[in-house]
Structure 1
Amino acid sequence: MLRHISIDQLRMGMFIHELDGNWLDHPFWKTRFLLARPQDLQKLRESGVRSLWIDASRGLDAIALTSAPAPTPAPPPAAAPTAAQLVTPVARVELQAELPQALKLLAGSKAAVAAMFNDARLGMAVDPARVTEVVTQISGSVLRNPSAMISLARLKRADDYTYMHSVAVCALMIALGRAMNLPEEQLMQAGTAGLLHDIGKLAIPDDILNKPGRLTDEEFRTIQQHPQEGARILIDNCEVSALTLDVCMHHHEKVDGTGYPFGLQGEQISLFARMGAVCDVYDAITSQRAYKSSWDPAVSISKMAEWKGHFDPDVLHAFVKCVGIYPIGALVRLESGRLGIVTEQSERSLLTPKVKVFFSTRSNMPIPQATVDLSSSQCTDRIIGREAPEKWGFRDLHELWAGPNSLPD
């Protein structure tokens, strides 16, 4: 029997069925468990949770704790909303306004994905409601300002890659879907597919996944098994759509037929799998890994455009419109000789973002930081090219656009 109680009524031995409120407001990534540890009870009382549902058939009932007349049983929770109902209109905000919320959300999403993947690793079912919850929160941030989430997710630490990559691809898939004018329900499906696309890497030994040197042919063949392993894990442990299974299985296919695991080509690859291929590669090459350094985001976009036969040209074009020719965090050289970091995209043109300048190539010296809006009619400067941060010995450039302490926990 489900019963709705206040946090003050919660006692050891109760079986928690569902916590009310935003999942970011409490420290638990699994909301159905027997309350058997005093420290968990203390955490819940100190959290933002004010009420919750317990299952009296699986634990202590609140009525047994009091001689007061039994309250009228509360109705069971309403049916879960559909994906379309979860995506509601959201007002767009400036990048700097969304960054703090996106940073908090990234940390929470990483922990949630880690818990889900650990459940799958142990052969346990992954809670579809929790997957939907995470995707919904990420979608909200992307709708408010897509640059915040997808730019911060790129800053992941190498040892966080597995889980943060899933979060990043989820955000990128939603942002790309918006750029392609997909219906709202399909945005949620795209996000879910992005979140779970690499779950098959759970079946690949860590010493191969994180090998610092070149893979042997045998090791690479092992890596190539992860799409099919992922589909197996999803079928066995998750309630997911055919679309999510498709992206998991086919996000390494290439339009020219040279991808894996089946060598599909062109229209044989679904639209969402073609979207997944672009998002997966972009996040991979712009991320720091145990075996390679990250690429500058603008360089990454340029390189991806050069890989003929790898991506669907229309999907890649939509992706560039989404993240920009010069994405947030790209180091660029201006005609004036100044170097700067792209801090915000322009709605007028992909070529005229806002740039925070901080260095002069003419004096080879730092200059006072200033933000230049290249789309302004009063601005006479322009971008003439990309620059590699390592060429100049620059480090921690993300602090120029995201601020200090902006690496996701």
Structure 2
Amino acid sequence: MLRRVHITEIELGMFIHKMEGSWFKHPFWNRRFLLTNPAHLELLLASDIETVIIDTDQGLDTRRLSERAEVGVQTQTQTQMQTGAAPVAAVVPPPRTVSRYQPKPPVRTLLRPSERQPGAVPPATIVQVREFGRARKVIGEANKVISQVFVQARLGKALNVADISNVVDEVYASVQRNLYAFNGLLRCQQDSEYVYRHSLSVSALMVALARQLKLGPVQMREAGMAGLLMDVGVGQMEVDLGAIGGDYRHLAPSLVQSHVLLGHAFLKAAGDIPPSVVDTCLRHHERLDGTGYPYGLGAEAIELLPRMGMVCDLYDNLVTGGDNRVGLDPAVALRHLAEMGDAIDQEVLRALVTTLGVYPIGAFVELASGRLAMVVAEDDGDTALPVVRAFWSLAQGRSIKAESIALSQCFGADSIVGAADLEGLDLPPLGQLRQRLIEATRRELAV
């Protein structure tokens, strides 16, 4: 049963079904959860939320709590009268509830470390690859919402902040479950329009980067929303994106640059968007050395969130290509950004490298064994030693049976020499190759 209660009535053991009011008035990502942590209760009481909806079928009811306390005191009093015992404060334990939102314990189907072969994929990687399946569902649903937002922008309709908050929540949840899987899967997908895929990818990058920079929960949420909305002005440009493959970068530079001003006006009109998100939309194409647009601002006028936005936006643009260019390998793209020097915040870039790994998922690498491989998962202990999938023999000059190799488990038997040179090789388009390799890995390890 759902019941509205005032914030002052909230107790531990209640199941929060909904927090009424603006999404930005509270610091919680999950809007439905069993309240068991005293620190979370303090945060809720200190927020600007006035009322919440509780689900009494999954947690305590205030009236049920009072009734239980009263019954407990009466029973204790009767016992004391019979035994002459001194009175003791009644303790009413919360009822045992099983929430469908609580994660199920993992089923152990993995080999013990002593049973694994050198180069075998470790358990953490299998869990990471399993997240690809969940991430795929999130990406599919999120793309629908993002496309609707762009349509709303084109039609001049107001932005529905609740829809956006749901997407950011799902992106955050996926990044929390596994830092690398969500964005790695996006790197290897080619089945949605560029502008939608780009928005979702930048949102995930911003959340992961905010986590790496140890920003607070509200700032992390705003970072994710900024990434999702920073290019919303593209939907207001008087162009047919379908005629250019959905990639607005193919338009004239003056028209491309107009999207930040259009998006800024659109988000301000929404009225419920945090100023930092609106500011990031306007300034993520500025550069710290004053060479950006629309105003040519310098470093002193650009806050942290727009600095993060410009780095994440640049990185995703480089790896997806555009303007008849093939996207750069992720590892090469990171080096390219490092060469931009003072134009971008290099400290933020270093945090992004730490976030993605030296060789991000989707990067093609050359191995010491004379094989070419693609990075399919990261190793939490050492991002310089990822899990790769070998697919090409340089000595034989042909494709070979694909094999997943955990370089951190090879004990030096194989290693990355550097970024792979795929020029002149008889390979399918790189987007298709990435998707094929990541899907094969997912099928192989999703045991």
Question: Normalization by structure 2: what TM-score?
Answer: 0.67
Q: Deviations over 1:122-147 (max 9, x none)?
A: 12111111111110011100111122
Secondary structure in 2 aligned to 1:99?
Answer: helix
The residue correspondences of 1:338-357 to structure 2 (distance < 5 A) are 338-357=371-390
User: How many angstroms does 1:117 deviate by?
Assistant: 2.0
Closer, same or farther: CA 173–121 of 1 in aligned 2, 3 Å:
same
Counterpart CA distance in 1 for 2:331 and 2:380 is: 18
Distance, in Å, in 1 between the alignment partners of 2:188 and 2:433 is 11
The alpha-carbon distance between structure 1 residues 142 and 339, as it changes in their structure 2 partners (threshold 3 A), is same
Distance 1:236 1:170, change over 3 A: same
Contact 2:375 2:389 (C-alpha < 8 Å) held by counterparts = yes
Which of 440, 443, 447 is 1:403 aligned to? 440
Shift of 1:219: 2.8
What is the rounded CA distance, in whole Å, between the counterparts of 1:375 and 1:238 in structure 2?
Answer: 50
Residue 97 of structure 1 pairs with residue 130 of structure 2? yes
Q: 1:355 to 1:237 in 2, by over 3 A?
A: same
Cα distance in 2 between the residues matched to 1:210 and 1:159: 15
Distance 1:225 1:151 in 2: 30
Pick aligned residue for 1:84 from 16, 22, 27: 27
Aligned-partner SS, 1:348? coil
Match of 2:406 among 358, 373, 395: 373
State the 1:298 CA deviation: 1.7
Rounded to whole Å, the distance in 2 between the matches of 1:282 and 1:295 is: 9
> Within 2, Cα distance between the matches of 1:156 and 1:289?
15
| Alpha carbons 1:282, 1:300 under 8 Å: kept | yes
Task: Give the superposition deviation at 1:303.
Answer: 1.4
Contact preservation (8 Å) 1:324, 1:345: yes
Q: 1:122 to 1:103 in 2, by over 3 A?
A: same
> 1:235 and 2:265 equivalent?
no
Local SS of the residue matching 1:392: coil
Shift of 1:365: 2.9
Secondary structure at 1:181's aligned position in 2? coil
Please give the secondary structure, in 2, of the residue aligned with 1:350.
Answer: coil
Q: What is the Cα deviation at residue 346 of structure 1? A: 1.9
Q: Which residue of 1 aligns with 2:229?
A: 196
- Distance of aligned partners of 1:345 and 1:308 in 2 relative to their CA distance in 1, 3 Å threshold: same
- Deviation string 1:130-169 (CA, Å, 9 cap, x unpaired) is 1111100111001111222112223454861112211111
Cα 1:316–1:205 change in 2 (3 A) is same
Q: Deviations over 1:375-402 (max 9, x none)?
A: 2362332211111445423222222123
Deviations 1:262-309 (A, max 9, x none): 111223211100100011111112125474322221221121221223
Counterpart residue identity of residue 384, structure 1: V
Structure 2 gaps of 5+ residues are 3-16, 34-39, 41-101, 104-123
1:400 maps to a residue whose letter is L
CA deviation vs aligned residue, 1:318-347 (integer Å, no higher than 9, x gap) = 001111221111110011211111111122
1:232 positional shift: 0.4
Question: SS of the residue aligned with 1:225?
Answer: helix
More helix by share: 2
- How far is 1:110 from its partner? 0.6
Shift of 1:119: 1.7
2:352 alignment partner, SS class: helix
Specify the alignment match of 2:351 in structure 1: 318
Question: Secondary structure of 1:384's partner?
Answer: strand
In structure 2, the CA distance between the partners of 1:134 and 1:238, relative to structure 1 (3 Å rule), is farther
TM-score by length of 1: 0.73
Change in Cα spacing, 1:356 to 1:155, as seen in structure 2 (3 Å) is closer
Per the alignment, residue 268 of structure 1 pairs with 301
Q: Give 2:54's aligned residue.
A: none
d(CA) in 1 for partners of 2:295, 2:414: 49
Unmatched 5+ stretches in structure 1: 5-75
Letter in 2 for 1:146: L
**AA of the residue aligned to 1:99:** F
Conserved 8 A contact 2:260-2:294: yes
Mean CA deviation greater in 156-165 or 277-286: 156-165
Spell out the pairing of 1:144-223 with structure 2 (5 A cutoff).
Answer: 144-157=177-190, 160-206=193-239, 219-223=252-256
Which is further off, 251-260 or 303-312? 303-312
Identity %: 32
The one-letter amino acid paired with 2:207 is I
**Are residues 1:360 and 2:386 paired?**
no
Distance apart, 1:100 and its partner CA: 0.8
Bigger-Rg structure (1/2): 2
Residue 86 (structure 1) shift: 1.5
**Which amino acid in structure 2 is aligned with residue 401 of structure 1?**
I
> Relative to 1, partners in 2 of residues 1:400 and 1:323: Cα closer, same or farther, differing over 3 Å?
same
CA contact (8 A) 2:188 2:438 kept: no
Partner-residue secondary structure (3-state), 2:343? coil
How many Å separate the matches in 1 of 2:267 and 2:294?
A: 17
SS in 2 for 1:339: strand
Q: Distance in 1 between matches of 2:236 and 2:244?
A: 15
| CA distance in structure 2 between the aligned counterparts of 1:341 and 1:85, rounded to whole angstroms | 37
Residue 393 of structure 1 aligns to a residue in which SS? Answer: coil
Q: Secondary structure at 2:146's aligned position in 1?
A: helix
> Partner letter of residue 276 of structure 1?
G
Compare 388-397 and 341-350 and name the one that shifted more. Answer: 388-397
The alpha carbon displacement at 1:116 in A equals 1.8
The one-letter amino acid paired with 1:350 is T
